[in-house]
Structure 1
Amino acid sequence: MEGIQNKRSNDRSNINIQEKVNVAGMNTLNGDVICLKLNVAGMVKVNGNIEVMEKAEVAGVANFEKDFIASECNISGKAKIHGRSQVGDIHIAGMCTCLDGLEGKKINVAGTLKVNGDTACDAFYGEGTVNIDGLLSGDDISINFHQRISIKEIGGKNITIKRNERELFSLLQYLNGKPQLCTELIEGDQINIEHTDAGTIRGEDITIGEGCEVNFVEYKSKLNVHPNAKVKKVLKVE
C-alpha cells in the first residue's frame, strides 16, 4: 500500500474516496481511488492508482492503468493491471493479466493468469492456465494443470506439480499440444512433480514422476525418479 499512501500524504486533492464503487455500464475513473468495496459488472478504466480496503469483484472488464491494491479480489471476468498488483487473497476464475508482477497472501487460479515479472505469495493453487515470465515464490505451491503452461522459475517450501487427466480436458490437450509445465528452475524443500520439463531442480526431498524431462537435479536427502522420467545429471550434496 506504500505507493498510494505516499500519494495521499503528498497530494490529497486528486484522490477519490468512496465507500463503494459500482460499475454496471461503461465508466472511466480519473485520479487515485480509495474505497471499501469495488464491484465491476460492466466495463471500467481506472487511470490512477486504486486501493480497495475490503473486497473487489470483477465480473465484467476492468483496465487498471496504475497500481491495484486490495485486501481481497475475485475475478470472474477480465482484468488487466498495468502497475503493481498487491492483493491479500485473490481468486481468478476468469482472466487476469499483471504487467508489473503480483504479490498476494493466497492466490487461487481456476481461470487464466499471465504475469510479467515475479509472483510472490504465501500459498499458490493453480488449476487453470498459468504463464509467469519471472519467479513464482511461496511457502506452498500446488499446480494441477491440463494444458501446456510456462513459469520461468519456481521457489518454495512445498512444491507439487501434477497433470489433470480428466477426460473433460482431452480436446484442450489436443489443441494446445502435449500438456506440460515448462520451467528453467525449481528450488524447494519438498518437491513432487510430474509431466514437467525443467532445466534444474534443487531440493531436500525430490520426487520426479512420470513424463518429466530434467537436465540437472541436485538433492540433499532423498531422490525418487519414475522409470518413465528422464534425468540427465544428478548430484547429491551434504
Structure 2
Amino acid sequence: MTDPVKGNLKILGNSSSAGGSFQNVGITGECRFTGDVDCVKFGLTGNTDIEGSLHAQEIKLTGECGVRGGIDALSVRGRGELKIDSRMKAERLAFEGHLEVKEDCEAGEFRLSGVVEIGGLLSGDQLDIGLFGYSRAGDVGGGTIRIKPSKGYKLMKMVHPNRNVRFESRAIEGDIVELEHVSAETVRGGRVIIGPNCIIETVEYRESLEIHKSAKVRSQVKL
C-alpha cells in the first residue's frame, strides 16, 4: 500500500491546529499547534507556537516561532526570533535575529547574525556567528569556527559606543578557530586566532596561534 497524499495547510489570520502530517504549511498571521508538525515545507510570516516538535525539509521564518519539542530539518532560514525548548538538528541554518535552543544544536552549516543562546553543545562543520549582543553556548565544536561582531553591530557601535557584545562558552574546539569578543575556559584547535577583546583561560593549538594585543590569554600550549 502507498501512503495517502498529504494535503497542504494554509492559514491566514488567527487560528489553531492539532498538527499532523502535511505537504506544505504556510502561515500568515498567528497560529498555535497543539501537537507535532511534520511537513516538507514550513513557511511562517507572523507568530507561531508549536507544543510538539517540528520536522520539515525546509523551514522559512519571518517573525516569532516557539517550539516546545525539537526541530529536525534540512534547511532553516529567515529572521526574527526562534526559541526551542529541546534540541535542533539541521543540515543548513541561515538566520538573523535571536535563536535560543535549550539543549544541543547541530548543523552542518551554521550562519547566524544576532544573538544565539545554546544550553548544550553547538556543533557543525562550519560555524559562522556575527554577534549583536550577549550570546552563549555550553560548548562549541566544529571544523571551521568564526565568532565575531556582526556588521550591524559595528555600524551601531558608531552611534552607541558604550554598547558591547560578548560570546561566552566553556570550551571551543575546531580545526580552524577565529574569535573576537569571546570569553572561554578552553580554546583548542589546529590554526587558532584569538582576536580583539577575548578573555581565554587556556589555548591549545597544533599548527599556529595568533593573539591580538587586546586579548587576554592566561596560558598557551603547543600540542
* TM-score, normalised via structure 1 length: 0.86
Name whichever structure is richer in strand by fraction.
2
Q: Which residue of the partner structure matches residue 35 of structure 2?
A: 48
Deviates more, 1:67-76 or 1:17-26: 17-26
Residues 63-120 of structure 1: CA deviation (Å, up to 9, x unaligned):
1111100111111111110112111110130111010011001111211111100000
For residues 173 and 11 of structure 2, the distance between their equivalents in structure 1, rounded to whole angstroms, comes to: 42
- The alpha-carbon deviation at position 121 of structure 1 amounts to 0.8
- The alpha-carbon deviation at position 44 of structure 1 amounts to 1.1
For residues 234 and 144 of structure 1, the distance between their equivalents in structure 2, rounded to whole angstroms, comes to: 26
8 Å contact kept, 1:17–1:34? no
What aligned pairs does 1:157-168 form with structure 2 within 5 A after superposition?
A: 157-164=143-150, 165-168=153-156
Q: 1:58 aligns with which of 34, 41, 44?
A: 44
Q: Which residue of the partner structure matches residue 213 of structure 1?
A: 199
SS at match of 1:167: helix
Q: 1:92 aligns with which of 59, 78, 91?
A: 78
Residues 189-226 of structure 1: CA deviation (Å, up to 9, x unaligned):
11111111111101111111111110011111111111
Q: Which residue of the partner structure matches residue 7 of structure 1?
A: none
Q: Which residue of the partner structure matches residue 24 of structure 1?
A: 12
For residues 101 and 154 of structure 1, the distance between their equivalents in structure 2, rounded to whole angstroms, comes to: 15
1:34 and 2:38 matched: no
Q: 2:87 aligns with which of 101, 110, 118?
A: 101
SS at match of 2:156: helix
* TM-score, normalised via structure 2 length: 0.92
- The alpha-carbon deviation at position 171 of structure 1 amounts to 5.8
Q: Which residue of the partner structure matches residue 141 of structure 2?
A: 155
Q: Output the amino acid matched with 1:131.
A: E
Q: Output the amino acid matched with 1:44.
A: C
- The alpha-carbon deviation at position 17 of structure 1 amounts to 7.3
CA-based RMSD: 1.9
Identity among equivalent pairs (%): 24
- The alpha-carbon deviation at position 162 of structure 1 amounts to 1.3
- The alpha-carbon deviation at position 172 of structure 1 amounts to 7.0
- The alpha-carbon deviation at position 168 of structure 1 amounts to 3.3
Q: Which residue of the partner structure matches residue 124 of structure 1?
A: 110
- CA distance 1:150–1:172, change in 2 (3 Å): farther
Stretches (4+) displaced over 3 A = 168-174
Q: Output the amino acid matched with 1:100.
A: S
Q: Which residue of the partner structure matches residue 164 of structure 2?
A: 178
8 Å contact kept, 1:51–1:68? yes
- The alpha-carbon deviation at position 22 of structure 1 amounts to 0.9
